[in-house]
Structure 1
Amino acid sequence: MNTTVPAGGKTIPISKEVLRNILRERRWALSEPERVEKSLKICECLKEVIIPGEEVLVYCAKDPEVETSRIISYLLDQDIPVIVPIIQKEDVSLRLSYLQDPSCLVSSTFHVPEPIGSEIPANPADVTSAIIPMLGFDRSGARLGYGAGYYDRFLSENRHIRTIGLAYSCQEEPLLPTDANDISMEVIVTEDEIIHRGQGMS
């Protein structure tokens, strides 16, 4: 789908909020079995992206996001430290916790699974790569998030972190609208491919 619409013979950009609604509907249109199958394929592709010796920040998925429980289990089995974000609504920020046992995750802010009551504080300086949810993406590496800016703020303060976005292939757009404070993804993983920033752009 194009990020412009015809208007009296001209084309005008679709706003981010309108685009978010379109992409939410597109993602929910996937059946649960489809999401499970695609998430499994994405997990397999992710294994090619993670580098031994990393400490990896991984989002804990809620429906209908790309499921991350399998990649978390894989990383733990490989003795790769797993760090998860905890949402702080008060200052629109993320604090970090190591995750050693996924069974401690409970539905929390915005229904996101978090290790509330079982936190092991982690330092952002120790994170080498971050696996991040997306509503939409393009091949320049642009990411459309949910609009609150939690990840953009966190990543702008921690530029050393390699950014890895996860999405279903149906979430791709030819060209996303971006702002100066939007953080792009270095790698995007879908069920079909691993896309490196700028790949396929003319």
Structure 2
Amino acid sequence: MEKKLIREQILKKRKTLSEETREIYSQKITNKLLASSHYMNAKTIMCFISFSDEVDTHDFIKSAIQDGKKIVVPVTFPKTHELKPSRVKDFNELEPGYYNILTPKKEFERFIDPKDIDLVITPGVAFRKDGYRVGYGGGYYDRFLSKIPNTITIAICFSIQLVDELPTDSFDIPVDYIYTEKNIVTCK
């Protein structure tokens, strides 16, 4: 099955979850992340800022800042299809940006070297249990993750986003773990 078709099917399925269900599931996933040794051992964590009906990452980001973690969020550069990690010290430093996704205000952009990141929390639309994922089609994360091959990566999603089959390309980068509201999948 084509990535585009899988993306459409899973996004449609994800939209069927009620807001209340998404909140409950997101909280379960956040709690698992905060309790994980990967989180506890990480000093610098990159996490996407959720939008629409994704697993909500806002509470996770706020908790990590409160815990004294260095939190970085991706800033997208559409012309080059590039992500650059920028440190966030307070959730109020964010404003709607590209695709209406929260992003650091210009005066709060603090870019860091990707090699300083210990843990990356990645988004996605569909996930295979071996860690391969289909995102939104821009290839941003695959390009970014290829630069930091030894950094631990955790994808977070609702269990309905797990699929048995997913086409892969040579440039696709699998994640190490997938956290859902039901379980934690070790991919490698």
TM bucket (normalised to shorter chain) is over 0.9
AA of the residue aligned to 2:19: E
Count of residues in Structure 1 that have an aligned counterpart in Structure 2: 185
| TM superposition shift of 1:160 | 2.2
State how 1:84-95 maps to structure 2 within 5 Å: 84-95=73-84
Match of 2:146 in 1: 156
| TM superposition shift of 1:53 | 4.1
Q: Is the 8 A contact 1:52 1:80 kept in 2?
A: no
AA of the residue aligned to 2:84: R
AA of the residue aligned to 2:32: C
Tell me which of 189, 192, 196 is aligned to 2:182: 192
Greater helix share, 1 or 2? 2
For structure 1, the 5+ residue unaligned runs are 1-13
Does 2:43 match 1:54? yes
Distance in 2 between residues matched to 1:84 and 1:157, nearest whole Å: 16
Distance in 1 between residues matched to 2:142 and 2:157, nearest whole Å: 17
Q: Is the 8 A contact 1:85 1:97 kept in 2?
A: yes
* Post-superposition CA distance 1:136-176 (Å, at most 9, x none): 11211111111110000011112122111010001010121
Q: Percent identity?
A: 30
SS in 2 for 1:33: helix
Q: Is the 8 A contact 2:48 2:74 kept in 1?
A: yes
Q: Is the 8 A contact 2:48 2:73 kept in 1?
A: yes
Tell me which of 125, 142, 146 is aligned to 1:135: 125
Q: CA RMSD in A?
A: 1.1
Tell me which of 69, 85, 88 is aligned to 1:99: 88
Match of 2:165 in 1: 175
Q: Is the 8 A contact 1:163 1:186 kept in 2?
A: yes
Q: Which has the larger radius of gyration?
A: 1
Match of 2:136 in 1: 146
